[in-house]
Chain A
Amino acid sequence: MTDIAWIEAALTAARPQAMGALLRYFRDLDTAEEAFQEACLRALGHWPRNGPPRDPAAWLIFVGRNAALDAVRRHSRHEALPDEEALSDLDDAEAALAERLDGEHYRDDVLRLMFICCHPDLPATQQVALALRIVCGLTVKQIARAFLVGDSAMEQRITRAKARVTAAAVPFEAPGAVERAERLAAVATMIYLIFNEGYSAGPDTGGARAPLCDEAIRLARLLLRLFPAEPEIMGLAALMLLQHARTPARFDAGGSAVLLEEQDRTLWDRRMIAEGLALIDKAVRHRRRGPYQIQAAIAALHARAVRAEDTDWAQIDRLYAALEAVQPSPVVTLNRAVAVAKVRGPAAALDLIEPLAPRLSGYFYFHGAKGAFLLQLGRAGEARAAFDRAIALAHTAAEAAHIRQHLDRLIADACPKDVP
C-alpha cells in the first residue's frame, strides 16, 4: 500500500473514536466534524513526513480539538496562531492524552456518536444516511449514489437529519447501565439497517451499495471491541458475516438473484463464515438468547451445509420457533414455513401461513411463498394466482424477476411433463 492509502485507511479507522471524543468536547456535531476535517488535513501533511503516530485516534482528537479552539480564539480575539510545527510536534502531549483516554470514555463516546443517528423521529433511511456520513465518513456523493438520489437532495436530507438530532440533545453524561443497554440495542438495529440497505439492493444499483455491508460489519466489530461480552452484538456481527459471505454467489452474470439452494457454495467466502461461526460459538456460551443470535444460528446452519440437501431443516424449524417466541412476527412465521415445508411438507407449511393472510396480504414474499407451497401440492391454478399477486406487489424489477424465476423453476420441478 502507498503512504496515502495507508493514511486514508488509518483516518477511516480512527474516525468513530475521534469524532465521538470531539463531539463530547464541543457538544456540537458541526464543530466536531470541522475539527475532525482539520485534523485529517494536518495528518495528510504531517504523517508522511514524520511517520504515523502511535495512536492515530488520540492524535486526531488532540490536533482537532486544538484547531477548533484556535478557530474560536481567532474569531474572538485575533490571537496569533501557534505555528503548525509546534502544534504537530505531539509526541509527549499525545502520549499523555492517550493515557487519559481510558477505555470507558472511548466506548461511551463511540456509542453516543452512533446512538444520535438512531433518533426515533428519523425514518430508517435517514438514520442510515446520517450514520454513513457521520460515523463512517462516507462522502455525500457516495451516499447519494447508494440511495440513487442526486447529491444535493442527499445533502439536504443529511442536513435536515442533523438539525433534528441536534434539537433532540442527547445527554453527554456517561450513561447508566440500563441506558447503555438501550443505546446498544438501538445502535445494533441501526447497524443492521445499514447492512440490509446494502444486502437487499442487488446488482441493479451498479454495486453502489455493496460497501454498506462492509461498513456495517466494520461498525459491529468496533462495537464488539468496545463491548466484548455482549452476546447479541456477537450475534449481530455473526449474522451479517454469514449472510455477506454468500454475496459472491447471490447473483448470476446477468444480475438475476440465485436462490439459496441453487447457489454455488464454493463461491461463499470461507473466512467470513469462519469468523461468523466463531462469534456465534462465543455468543452461545453466555446463555442469553436473543433474536440476532438465533438468526445467526439459522444462517450458520446454511453455512455449514456443504450441499443444499445437507441443510438441517429440522433444526432451522426449531430455531425459527425460538425466534417466534422471543420476537413474534408474521414475517418470522412466514420464514419458518419454508423450513416446515422441507421437514413436514407443503401442506403443513400452508396451514402455518394461512392465518397470516390478513396481516401479510400486501407483502410480496407472502404470496411468493404461498404460490410455491400451492404449486408443490399440485394446485397449479391457485399457485399462479398467488404468483401473479406477488409480481403485482414487487417493489423492484429484481423482485419481480426473482418470483418469475421461482415460478419457472417450480413449474420445471413440479410438472416436468409441461416442459419439453
Chain B
Amino acid sequence: MECPIQARGKKDLLLDYCAHTLGAGPAAQMEAHIAVCPECKAWTEAHMRTWTLLDEWEAPPVSPDFDRRLRERIAMEREQTPWWKAIWQSVAARPLKPALSMALVALLLLAGLLFVRPRSTPPVRPGHEAIDAERVEKALDDVDMLRQVGSAEDTKDAGAM
C-alpha cells in the first residue's frame, strides 16, 4: 500500500482510519502499513491522542424548556400574522384548481362574516382568566429570570430557584 503521508491526496485515509470510517478491507491494509511505517505510526498515535482529548469536551444538556420556548415563539409569530395574510400565504404555496378556488371563496366568505360579527361573549375580568399549568410554568420562568437579573449574588445555576 502506498504511504498516505508520502502520496498526494491520500492523507484523508489516515483521518478515516482514525475515525473508524474505513471499510474492513482498507482498514486492514492501513493497519498493515502502519505497522511498518514509522511516520504513519507516529501520525496516527498523535492524532488518536488529540481525538481522545477532544472527546473530553462534552456539550451541556439541552434545557428542558427548549421545546416550550420554541413553541411559544412559533405561536407568537402566528398571532402576529394577520388572518388574511396567513390564509393567503397558505393558498399561494399551493397550485389552485377551479373546484378548489370555489371552496376557498366560500371559506373566505365564512371567515369574513365571522370576523365582522360583533363579539357576544363578555370580556374576562383581569386576573380571572383560566389558569393552566403551562401558564404557571411560563410565569415561574419569568419570575426566576427577574430574580436572577435582580440578584446581586452572581449565581450561575439557572435552577437555583
Q: Do A and B come together as binding partners?
A: no
